Amino acid sequence: MSAELRSNFLRTQIQSDLDAGRTREVVTRFPPEPNGFLHIGHAKSITVNFGLAEQFGGRCHLRFDDTNPEKESQEFIDSIQEDVRWLGYEWSGEVRFASSYFEQFYEWALHLIDSGLAYVCDLSAEEARRYRGSLVEPGQNSPFRDRSASESRALFEQMRAGAFAEGEKVLRAKIDMAAPNMNLRDPILYRIRDVAHHQTGTAWTIYPTYDFAHGQEDAIEGITHSICTLEFEDHRPLYEWFIEHLPVPHTPRQIEFARLNTSYTITSKRQLKQLVDAAVVTGWDDPRMPTIAGLRRRGYPAAAIRHFCEEVGTSRSDSMVDVAMLESAVRDHLNKTAPRAMCVLRPLRLTLTNLPNESVLSLPNHPADEAFGQREVTLSQVLFIDRQDFRESANKQFKRLVLGKRVRLRGALVIEAERCETDAEGNVTHVFARCITLAPGTDPEDGVKPKGVIHWVSADHCVPAVVRCYDRLFSQEAPGRCDDVLEAINPESLVVVENAVVEPMLATLVPEEVYQFEREGYFVADRYEYHSETPVFNMTIGLRDNWSSPND
């Protein structure tokens, strides 16, 4: 994949390293924790790390920071690999795992102990919090800080052998309990965890912390530029302390950038998991979720997501990006790439009283691009139109079918409504209209032109379909700030239409094909549930932004 990428401070700094000879080949990495599905924020990190390697002719590794097996699973590992590939990227070499380096981490932990820079501590978690101090008060040294190196080594080896219970002991670095940066106040390097690991099984009963493992993984793999989001800026001094005090084969450089925050969205894995566990959504790949898998199932094109991430830019300042910018990128892309078809979401029977016989019309698949070709659609005496496109009486602003008024059927004839039938509740059940023209595309001879155009399908040549109409999952701009994220759920985020009807060709697609349903929006054949008997479509995006613009 190639792209013209705009300059930003990351590219400037990397170019400076290359020019100065500090770097010969750029090597970056994308290092997700396999404890959930990737979301739109990760898409930004993916485009940054893979994009930098691509621009400078370097390499990008995919590495799983799998140091917390209690929350990790193979399902998440598989989904992350699929997401990266779907976005259009391929990593260098094999997939890498932090767990592959566990033995090396252990040896380096022993090195710190032997150097007097780490010790085994017996403080409970609550005691350790008290000893740590606060942002305005220095911490206190643990009473176990002055243990001899030989005693700490023996205890650490026993920790590995499973001699102690969880929480009974930890291994801590010996740095500075009075450091203004809380991350340097004797951070934990290893915890006891009596849990099997998805890669190493039961080989280990102690696991390194993320902070201890992360920099060393970069050093082992020869990463030149460790690109992180701003929340890791305060961790950089610790990252560099480990690199300085361990016999690592390489010295990476950590650089931070602002993470992607979008309105009407949450990207906290804890909160996303809450939505899944509470069955607010059907799973991590629910089309309303901001996960990459959810966006894919909703029909968002990978190219549009990449374009959005590039347009947002890369900076050092945290900000909130209007999610409408992503939606606009999707609309712009699909307007050019999605063929057109007709779907009636709320069918109302319409009979053309004077249509002499049915005919097959040839309609363009895209009004602005002849390369999309033509499709055949049958015009018959009995049609279905959308219930919202008919009124018995209406003001001049209503540009659709009204008794005594004219409209054009999309790609077909001009008709005029004559009468309608209603049920006992007064609901219109059947409309009767006469054809004013009998040749598609022609205007009435009497000069009275129709005021609008409506879409339709033949009642005898249509296929029933299920259409899921999706909207934003949250009705509040910053749902993450709510005490309970469930309170911000948009009750109209999903409306399922069970009795829609579509053109027959829409039953011959392959999953993930996206079409514009004329006058309705863009819809995708569901990745898992689409089949020819009753096709299932997910609404990708409307034709316009209804959150900032009124309906027509």
Question: Which pLDDT tens digit goes with each residue over 464-500?
Answer: 999 999 999 999 999 999 989 999 999 999 999 999 9
Q: Considering only residues 368 and 317, tell me which one the structure prediction assigns the higher pLDDT.
A: 368
DSSP one-letter string for 289-335: SSBHHHHHHHT--HHHHHHHHHHH---SS--EE-HHHHHHHHHHHHH
On the question of pLDDT at 325 being above 90, the answer is yes
pLDDT at 451: 86
- Sign of the torsion formed by the C-alpha atoms of 226, 228, 234 and 238: negative
Length of the chain (residues): 552
Nearest C-alpha neighbor of 202 from the set 160, 172, 163, 166: 160
User: Is the pLDDT score of 549 beyond 60?
Assistant: no
pLDDT value of residue 545: 87
Q: Is the pLDDT at 552 greater than 70, yes or no? A: no
Q: Other C-beta atoms within 10 Å of 395: how many?
A: 7
Q: What three-state secondary structure class fits 516?
A: strand
Using alpha carbons, select from 70, 36, 31, 33 the residue that is nearest to residue 205: 70
| Percentage above 90 pLDDT, the chain | 94
Cα–Cα distance for residue pair 236/545, rounded to 1 Å: 41
Partners of 453 in beta bridges: 408
pLDDT tens per residue across span 246-292: 999 999 999 999 999 999 999 999 999 999 999 999 999 999 999 99
Residue type at 536?
A: V
Q: What's 244's DSSP letter?
A: H
The arithmetic mean of pLDDT across residues 334-353, rounded, is 98
pLDDT at 192 over 50: yes
Q: Is a pLDDT exceeding 90 seen at residue 319?
A: no
Residues 6 or more apart from 20 whose CB is under 8 A from it?
none
- Band of pLDDT at residue 124, cut at 50, 70 and 90: very high
Place of tokens 């008997």: 533
Q: pLDDT tens across 418-471, in order?
A: 999 999 999 999 999 999 999 998 999 998 989 899 999 999 999 999 999 999
pLDDT at 489: 97
Confidence of residue 33 (pLDDT cuts 50, 70, 90): very high
Q: In this structure, which amino acid lies at residue 461?
A: H
Lowest-pLDDT range, 352-361, 383-392, 457-466, 543-552? 543-552
Ramachandran angles phi, psi of 132, nearest 5°: -75, -20
Q: Could you tell me which residues come within 8 angstroms of residue 131 by beta carbon, excluding any fewer than 6 positions away? A: 123, 139, 140, 141, 142, 177
Beta-strand relationship, 536-542 and 521-525: antiparallel
Catalytic residues: 33, 259, 269
pLDDT band at residue 7 using 50, 70 and 90 as cut-offs = low
Report CA dihedral (36, 39, 43, 46) to the nearest 10 degrees: -10
Rounded Cα distance between 371 and 365, Å, is: 9
Mean pLDDT of 47-58: 97
pLDDT for 3 beyond 70: no
Contact partners, residue 286, CB within 8 Å, separation at least 6 = 294, 297
Q: Is 495 helix (H, G, I), strand (E, B) or coil?
A: strand
Give the model's pLDDT for residue 4: 44
Q: 374 vs 364, 370, 402, 417, 505, CA distance in Å?
A: 4, 8, 31, 29, 12
Paired tokens of 371: 């390369």
- Mean pLDDT estimate for the chain: 95
Q: How far lies 448's CA from each of 436, 443, 454, in Å?
A: 10, 8, 17
CATH topology of domain 352-361+374-422+430-451: Ribosomal Protein L25; Chain P (2.40.240)
Contact call for residues 191 and 165 (beta carbons, < 8 A): no
Please state, for a pLDDT cut of 70, what percent of the chain lies above it: 98
* Contacting residues for 256 by C-beta, under 8 A, at least 6 apart: 227, 228, 229, 230, 232, 233, 236, 316
> Kind of pairing, strands 406-409 and 453-454?
parallel
Which pLDDT belongs to residue 2?
40
Other CB atoms within 10 A of residue 547 CB: 16
State the architecture of 260-342+455-552 in CATH terms: Beta Barrel (2.40)
Tokens of residue 428, six digits: 């219109």
pLDDT (tens digit per residue) in 223-235? 999 999 999 999 9
pTM, full prediction: 0.93
Amino acid at the residue 234: D
Same fold, 102-210 and 260-342+455-552: no
Whether 183 has a pLDDT exceeding 50, the answer reads yes
Residue 305, Cβ density class (10 Å: 0-12 exposed, 13-18 middle, ≥19 buried) = buried
The yes/no answer on whether domain 102-210 falls in CATH 3.90.800.10 is yes
> Which residue in this structure is represented by tokens 């392959």?
510
Boundaries of every domain in the chain = 102-210, 260-342+455-552, 352-361+374-422+430-451
pLDDT tens per residue across span 67-123: 999 999 999 999 999 999 999 999 999 999 999 999 999 999 999 999 999 999 999
Would you say residue 551 has pLDDT above 70?
A: no
Q: Is 545 helix (H, G, I), strand (E, B) or coil?
A: coil
Which pair of tokens denotes residue 103?
Answer: 């033995």
Q: What are the residues whose beta carbons fall under 8 Å from the beta carbon of 162, sequence distance 6 or more?
A: 194, 205
Q: How confident is the model at residue 304 (pLDDT cuts 50, 70, 90)?
A: very high
**What distance in Å separates the CA atoms of residue 509 and residue 535, rounded to the nearest whole number?**
9
Q: What are phi and psi of 291, to 5 degrees?
A: -75, 155
| Packed helices 302-312 and 40-55: angle between N→C axes, nearest 10 degrees | 80
Residue 284's pLDDT is 97
Contact by Cβ (8 Å): 239, 183: no
> Is 550 a residue whose pLDDT tops 50?
no
- Element spanning 430, H or E: strand 428-435
